[in-house]
Structure 1
Amino acid sequence: MIRREFLGGFLALLAASGCGGGDNSSSSFGQPQSQPALDAALDRVFATTRSTSVRALLLAGDRFAWSGQRGMDPTVDPFTRIGSVTKTVTGTAVLQLVDEGLIGLDQTIERWFPQLSESPELTIRMLGTMASGIASYSTDDTTMNRYLSQPDLVWTPQQLMDISFALPRSFRPGQGYEYSNTNFLMLAHIVEQVSGLPIDRFMRERIFARLEMTSTTYPYTPALPAGTWRGRTEQGSPRDATDWNPTFLGAAGELVSNQQDLLRWSRALGRGTLLSAATQAQRLLPNPHSEGGGRAYLFGVGNDRGWLSHSGEIPGYNTQIAYDPRNDVSIVVLCNSDIPTSEGPLPAPAIYAGLRQAWEAGS
């Protein structure tokens, strides 16, 4: 367990890390010999991005902490839209109900979705591991064109689910892997029906409050807290996407957070802090159809060669969280653009990969 005084010292370092550093700075706490490789990795990948700003950190137990910023005031921890990292929270909400015995992972979903009678074998586990065969509404060209051309539209979860339900199934439930936002809108609907709470309130009371994640919100509107950085996208056309309506993502990608909260969350997610050991073990079972190259999709989180990770992309923003449970190491990366790097990948996953490689080579 991270000693409270070490984490407190690291957070204090984050608050003061910019002293004399301008818009490009890095700081470390413990093991100063590890900093140069991480700095170099951040610089190398950031040079390939079209993000104007990035904020990254690595925390290794009570041994080492590093924070790097490029193109921004390092004393500010901006609010940011975290996109599909939201799925890790929605998945945890479901698993909390499993822990309470209110639902089961292998329970079929006809109780909540009688309109899907053609798929009676579809289970909660299949939704969370992307094995449902239900295509994401975002694969529908008409829907995406409408979203990109009218980003201020308000969407309801039911509206988005209905779009997906009308699309052809990608495969029989349990017989494949396909990433789908719709799965997590469906899981949020189940949480609401079983708990009697709106999904935002469930997350706030059952997850954020317990972890002291005071900067994480489920906004429902384009309004953002003061201190949110501006996000730029090339989806549709190059433009500022900061004020786009987030309801197009819902419980699959609507949350707003900051780096400090995501550090807390990556550790809680990886350690199973809010779940029993048995339920956390169930979370970590992969969809076998997703496995390859040391990677797999689990229940609302990925396994990247031993790191529990998830990226988040929403127009204007890109986020990555990762936790190595073998060595108690967290990496969190925030970028104010979802424009791919010149080498192809999205910026946050590319920076995470560079930092991870540098850390593993030197640790």
Structure 2
Amino acid sequence: MSPSSVRLRRGVLAAVLTGTLLAPLTAGAAPAAPAAGTPTPSASGPDVRRLTPDVAHRLDASVKRVMHEADIPGVTVGVWTPGQESYVRSFGVADKATGRKMTPDLFMRIGSETKTFTVTALLQLADQGKVGLDDPIGRYVDGVPNGDEITLRQLAGMRSGLFNYSEDEDFYKALTSDPRRPFTPQQLLGYAFRHPVLFQPGEKFSYSNTNLILLGLVVEKESGQRLGDYIERHILDPAGMKDTLFPKGSEFPMPHAQGYTDQTANGKIADTADWDPSWGWAAGAMISTLDDLRIWAPTVATGRLPDGGRMVSPELQKQRLVTPRTPIPGAGYGLGIFDVQGWIGHNGSLPGYESLTIYLPATRTTVVALLDTDIDHDGQEPSTLLGEAITKIVSPRHVFDLPAAPAAR
């Protein structure tokens, strides 16, 4: 398996590999586990530092340092805590060819943050009684290996044991040979189902895009709507997220940043803005902006809409936020959402783009970072490097620290 094909599955815990977590939920309610967000023992001081001019200056310097070290062309960062000054900055360029500057208003591809929307749609259908989280996926989709045993809950919690289609070599060759080609959900599942299951349902954690393709099909079947239409009407519109979309093809609203990747057939860096994201579909195709992700961070973490209404019922939101520990210290994963040292949210990685949207409930602090590259630095995702650098300053007791991935097997 090539390192690049492994990278295509990313967008959660940076060190997740096939089968087990070495290094991006069972039947019934997921078992309670110790909270993943235990503060670093040696840390001290307040949960979140006030965004004083000095703290803002330190953030500027830290972001610039990471950009220089990791060769990141452009990034936008936002930090918000109620009752405090906000921090919104853009650095570098959105287009290396023209020198166009990165700005906070740009549309960006958000990769695996899409999973938080797909799982929210599933939870809404569960609230309506149209699906049960402990239903087997075989009730809704035919031909799934172990489909009579794998539950929707296990799919959402990355404990199904299904092979990740984006690690299939033939898929990787098909994508990189023609990155503008569209894929159907059925084609993606075909790449996955040719492989044996990795383990019995519920035995382990294994991050797999295949899980979300299946959940997307469930949402479509039980809602009677195209997945993107359902998300727009029942999630984006109620939340007031007017600049977030689930594209039908390769469309990309303007203004947007160009995206730079080395996940190409020849290994050379390419601009990916016009690549078709349908290969990610329910697992990674969506587009958003800084302001909209600022809305989404507390919405997905609390289940509450900005106007105080409910996006998801309190009961299911509580189940969503049960985040059983993974072998990565300080990191847990619930139903389409993670908890890393107390930060609730998700990250995303699609060729050319990375994102991070996280929320700290203790202080209602939101951090969003949007990047126009997915090229690793010393085996580490650039969004993770930025998340760690930012949270070391703003929340020293809750540092978003994930280890670098080991070499692919």
Partner AA of 1:186 in structure 2: L
Match of 1:19 in 2: none
What CA deviation, in whole Å up to 9, does each residue of 1:54-78 have, x standing for no partner?
A: 1001111222311122114465511
Partner AA of 2:232 in structure 1: R
What CA deviation, in whole Å up to 9, does each residue of 1:37-95 have, x standing for no partner?
A: 22222122111222211100111122231112211446551111110010011111111
Question: Offset at 1:180?
Answer: 0.7
CA distance in 2, matches of 1:282, 1:291: 21
Structure 2: gaps (5+ residues)? 1-49, 94-100, 305-310, 399-409
Question: Offset at 1:117?
Answer: 6.2
Question: Offset at 1:307?
Answer: 0.7
Partner AA of 1:105 in structure 2: L
Partner AA of 2:176 in structure 1: L
Partner AA of 2:384 in structure 1: P
What CA deviation, in whole Å up to 9, does each residue of 1:220-276 have, x standing for no partner?
A: 211211201111110023111111111111010000111111111112111211111
Q: Is the Cα–Cα contact under 8 Å of residues 127 and 312 in structure 2 kept in the other structure?
A: yes
Structure 1: gaps (5+ residues)? 1-28
Aligned to 2:134, what secondary structure does the other structure show?
Answer: coil
| More off after superposition, 35-44 vs 123-132 | 35-44
Which of the residues 28, 46, 53 maps onto 2:67? 46
Are the structure 2 counterparts of residues 194 and 259 from structure 1 closer, same or farther at C-alpha, using a change threshold of 3 Å?
same
Are the structure 2 counterparts of residues 120 and 74 from structure 1 closer, same or farther at C-alpha, using a change threshold of 3 Å?
closer
Partner AA of 2:375 in structure 1: I
Aligned to 1:296, what secondary structure does the other structure show?
Answer: strand
CA distance in 2, matches of 1:224, 1:232: 15
Q: Is the Cα–Cα contact under 8 Å of residues 317 and 335 in structure 1 kept in the other structure?
A: yes
Question: Offset at 1:291?
Answer: 4.7
CA distance in 2, matches of 1:271, 1:119: 31
Partner AA of 2:392 in structure 1: Q
Question: Offset at 1:30?
Answer: 6.2
Is 2:95 the partner of 1:67?
A: no
What CA deviation, in whole Å up to 9, does each residue of 1:286-341 have, x standing for no partner?
A: 245x3541101111011101111211111111111111111101100011011112
Is 2:110 the partner of 1:82?
A: yes
Which of the residues 47, 54, 57 maps onto 2:78? 57
Is 2:319 the partner of 1:285?
A: no
What CA deviation, in whole Å up to 9, does each residue of 1:98-154 have, x standing for no partner?
A: 111221211222211232364422100000000000111111111111101110111
1:111-122 superposed matches below 5 A:
111-116=139-144, 118-122=146-150
Question: Offset at 1:361?
Answer: 3.2
Q: Is the Cα–Cα contact under 8 Å of residues 129 and 287 in structure 1 kept in the other structure?
A: no
Are the structure 2 counterparts of residues 184 and 362 from structure 1 closer, same or farther at C-alpha, using a change threshold of 3 Å?
closer
Are the structure 2 counterparts of residues 163 and 357 from structure 1 closer, same or farther at C-alpha, using a change threshold of 3 Å?
same
Match of 1:321 in 2: 357
Q: Is the Cα–Cα contact under 8 Å of residues 220 and 246 in structure 1 kept in the other structure?
A: no
Aligned to 1:151, what secondary structure does the other structure show?
Answer: coil
Query: Matched residue pairs, number?
Result: 333
1:31-180 superposed matches below 5 A:
31-72=52-93, 73=101, 75-116=103-144, 118-180=146-208
Q: Is the Cα–Cα contact under 8 Å of residues 130 and 287 in structure 1 kept in the other structure?
A: no
Aligned to 2:143, what secondary structure does the other structure show?
Answer: helix
Q: Which has the higher contact order (CA 8 A, sep 6+)?
A: 2
TM-score for both structures, normalised by structure 1: 0.88
CA distance in 2, matches of 1:204, 1:152: 24
Q: Report the RMSD for the aligned CA atoms in angstroms.
A: 1.8
